[in-house]
């Protein structure tokens, strides 16, 4: 984003930042004391707890996805692994919102600045991004940056904003590598921008401008050179970063896409772990595929985007940029099931709309009472629509957040993992070796801190411990049949296969020391 101009007071910047941080910090404290738990922040916490296990620091660091969210969270782990995801959400969301409000406030647009400030303060989706401990804030900043720099590029057609955009896209690889497919439509966009960027042509019609360029040797050469350089700049950093990341994954995990394919590299790595039970899975598929109810949910959060589309009806290039939103959304969900679609995808509508507002010149709002009234009404509609979105969302993190915060209904499975983790930490000898499927049991690992050593799913010891638990581990954690993840538990599944083959090495004396609906903790008697 552009550097803050002297017109925007530094004191005002810090006051706005303080208000956001204080508000979201207070809310986070309240909802966490009321029992709020969620899957993704618990995965981040468990990852921090096990980062130095087995001496595989570099491997654990690079192969956990999304790497960018984990990296942004690590500095806050000095306050505690359990709190780190929430500190990160509050800090980065507040800083981002303050920056946006300050940019919009340039040019003495105090009224629109106040309206945007209040919208962010009361927006349910912004509230969720700042207090949930999830990685939504990173997606919000990513999509905003993409559109913000595109809007600024078409003002002077300089390489500066394209270079920054290239760097932003290179960071996107560590958040969701599929965003990189957006380079393909962006190449076409650069072609269009390069035509409009040629100076000295009086016509504003794209076809007429392109024909004149092709008929003039000097202009044609200048056009080709500019287009080639822009394509190289926008593609260099993302492609280089992707190749390096794939190489590191291949080097450490024997699979270039290890970060995406392995079960324990992300919080919803198991195929259905982003859903709460099998009845939900069936219901979602029927709802989403048969009557497209997910489109109704999307309608709740697109008013800003639609409003900006309408306001640019006579500005071809800006309208053209906004039309990139459905293209990018299609790219992101092309290989995803509809029942996994969440705000990490849909936030692109809000981010693009806010970027459009931030990129508007100051004179657009000067003494324009109709615009002020329109935006005030728009933000009120958006706040209500975003609330309805969270209320109707069927994605696990959003569903858990809404039920916990708005309905004070806690997730029983997460509470059981929390209690089990604390039991294991306080009732077992320090450095005891524990065998479990960490792609499922990470909420338990999150509350164990550094008391026990958990065998990694990807390690050689994991398979050895499955065949001879008595030799390689002290405790087992296995899902029970009442757990929705029972059939996904690699430890339980492999034990059954080994027992069916009647392998004597798997026989051992044990004692169940903790039992709940979701899982049981077993002590191996040696």
Which of 28-32, 440-444, 485-489 has the least mean pLDDT? 485-489
Instruction: Tell me the β-bridge partners of 525.
Output: 509
Structure confidence at residue 288 as a pLDDT band (50, 70, 90): very low
pLDDT at 86: 97
Q: C-alpha angle 113/117/121, rounded to 5°? A: 170
pLDDT value at 504 more than 80: no
Task: Tell me how far apart the alpha carbons of residues 522 and 369 are, in angstroms, rounded to a whole number.
Answer: 68
The pLDDT confidence band at residue 290, using thresholds 50, 70 and 90, is: very low
Q: What is the mean pLDDT of residues 280-289?
A: 42
DSSP result, 122-191? H-HHHHHHHHS-SSHHHHHHHHHHHHHHHHHHHHH--HHHHHHHHHHHHHHTTT-GGGGGGHHHHHHHHH
What pLDDT is stored for residue 289 in this prediction?
A: 39
Q: Residues 233-262: pLDDT tens digits? A: 999 999 999 999 999 999 888 889 988 888
Stretch among 69-73, 458-462, 504-508 having the lowest mean pLDDT? 504-508
CA distance 262 to 349: 30
Higher pLDDT, 340 or 400: 400
Quote the pLDDT of residue 369: 79
Most confident of 92-96, 341-345, 468-472: 92-96
Q: Which band of pLDDT confidence, cut at 50, 70 and 90, is reported for residue 281?
A: very low
Residue 436, pLDDT score: 92
The predicted structure's pLDDT at residue 291: 42
| 274, pLDDT greater than 60 | no
**pLDDT at 521 exceeding the cut of 60:** yes
Check whether 283 has a pLDDT greater than 70.
Answer: no
Structure token digits, residue 381: 């509609």
- Over residues 318-323, the mean pLDDT reads 93
Average pLDDT, the chain: 85
Cis peptide before 228 (omega within 30 of 0): no
pLDDT of 1 over the 70 cut:
no
Residue for token pair 């009557």 = 291
Q: What is the pTM of this model?
A: 0.91
pLDDT computed for residue 282 by the predictor: 41
Collapsing DSSP to helix, strand or coil, 433 comes out as: strand
* Count of positions (residues) in the chain: 526
The token pair at 228 is 């080639």
Instruction: Please say if the pLDDT value at position 141 is more than 90.
Output: yes
> Which pLDDT score, from 0 to 100, does residue 202 have?
66
Instruction: Please say if the pLDDT value at position 278 is more than 60.
Output: no
Report d(CA 221, CA 227) in Å as an integer.
Answer: 10
Q: Strands across the sheet with 519-525, in order?
A: 453-454, 433-435, 475-479, 519-525, 509-515
Banded pLDDT at 380 (limits 50, 70, 90): very high
**How many whole angstroms separate alpha carbon 233 and alpha carbon 165?**
9
The Cβ of residue 228 has, within 10 Å, a number of other Cβ atoms equal to 12
Q: What is the reported pLDDT for 293?
A: 58
- pLDDT > 90? residue 271: no
Range from 32-36, 90-94, 138-142, 331-335 carrying the lowest mean pLDDT: 331-335
3-state secondary structure of 423: helix
Which among 303, 302, 304 is positioned nearest to 357, based on CA atoms? 304
89-103, 144-158, 343-357, 502-516: the lowest-pLDDT one: 502-516
Band of the pLDDT at 107, cuts 50, 70, 90?
A: low
- Spatial separation of the C-alpha atoms in residues 180 and 235, rounded to whole Å: 9
How high is the pLDDT of residue 366? 63
Per-residue pLDDT tens for 384-412? 999 999 998 878 889 899 999 999 888 88
Whole-number pLDDT of residue 339:
52
pLDDT value for 133: 95
Q: Which residue has the higher pLDDT, 272 or 75?
A: 75
The angle formed by the CA atoms of residues 355, 342 and 439, to the nearest 5 degrees, is: 125
Question: Which residue did the predictor score with more confidence, 451 or 358?
Answer: 358
Cβ contact 25:90 at 8 Å: yes
């Amino acid at each position: 984003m552009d550097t803050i101009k002297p017109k925007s007071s530094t004191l005002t910047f810090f006051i706005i930042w303080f208000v956001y941080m204080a508000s979201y910090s207070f809310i986070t404290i309240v909802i966490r004391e009321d029992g709020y738990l969620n899957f993704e922040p618990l995965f981040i916490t468990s990852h921090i707890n096990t980062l130095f296990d087995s001496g595989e620091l570099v491997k654990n660091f690079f192969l956990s996805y999304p790497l960018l969210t984990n990296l942004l969270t690590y500095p806050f782990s000095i306050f505690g692994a359990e709190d780190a995801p929430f500190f990160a959400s509050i800090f980065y969301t507040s800083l981002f919102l303050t920056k946006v409000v300050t940019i919009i406030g340039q040019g003495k647009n105090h009224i629109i600045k106040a309206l945007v400030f209040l919208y962010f303060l009361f927006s349910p989706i912004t509230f969720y991004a700042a207090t949930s401990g999830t990685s939504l804030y990173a997606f919000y900043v990513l999509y905003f940056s993409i559109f913000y720099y595109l809007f600024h590029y078409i003002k002077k057609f300089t390489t500066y904003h394209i270079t920054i955009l290239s760097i932003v896209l290179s960071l996107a690889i560590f958040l969701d590598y599929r965003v990189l497919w957006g380079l393909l439509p962006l190449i076409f966009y650069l072609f269009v921008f390069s035509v409009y960027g040629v100076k000295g042509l009086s016509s504003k019609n794209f076809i007429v401008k392109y024909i004149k360029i092709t008929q003039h040797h000097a202009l044609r050469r200048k056009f080709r050179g500019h287009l080639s350089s822009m394509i190289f700049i926008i593609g260099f950093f993302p492609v280089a970063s992707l190749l390096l990341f794939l190489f590191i994954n291949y080097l450490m995990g024997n699979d270039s896409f290890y970060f995406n394919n392995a079960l324990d590299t992300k919080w919803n790595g198991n195929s259905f772990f982003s859903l709460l039970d099998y009845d939900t899975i069936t219901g979602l598929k029927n709802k989403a595929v048969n009557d497209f109810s997910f489109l109704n949910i999307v309608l709740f959060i697109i008013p800003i985007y639609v409003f900006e589309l309408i306001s640019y009806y006579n500005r071809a290039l800006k309208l053209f940029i906004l039309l990139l939103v459905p293209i990018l959304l299609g790219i992101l969900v092309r290989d995803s099931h509809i029942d996994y679609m969440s705000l990490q995808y849909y936030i692109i509508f809000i981010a693009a709309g806010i970027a459009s507002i931030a990129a508007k010149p100051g004179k657009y709002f000067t003494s324009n009472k109709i615009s002020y009234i329109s935006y005030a009404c728009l933000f009120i509609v958006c706040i209500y629509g975003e609330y309805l979105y969270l209320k109707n969302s069927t994605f696990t993190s959003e569903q858990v957040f809404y039920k916990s915060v708005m309905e004070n209904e806690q997730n029983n499975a997460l509470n059981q993992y929390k209690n089990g983790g604390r039991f294991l930490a306080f009732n077992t000898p320090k450095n005891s070796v524990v065998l479990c499927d960490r792609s499922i049991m990470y909420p338990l690992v999150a509350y164990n801190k550094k008391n026990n050593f958990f065998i990694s799913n990807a390690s050689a010891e994991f398979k050895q411990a499955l065949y001879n638990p008595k030799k390689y581990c002290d405790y087992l954690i296995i899902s029970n049949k009442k757990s929705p993840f029972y059939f996904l538990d690699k430890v339980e599944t492999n034990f059954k296969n080994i027992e069916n083959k009647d392998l004597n090495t798997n026989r051992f004396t044990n004692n169940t020391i903790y039992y709940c609906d979701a899982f049981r903790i077993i002590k191996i008697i040696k």
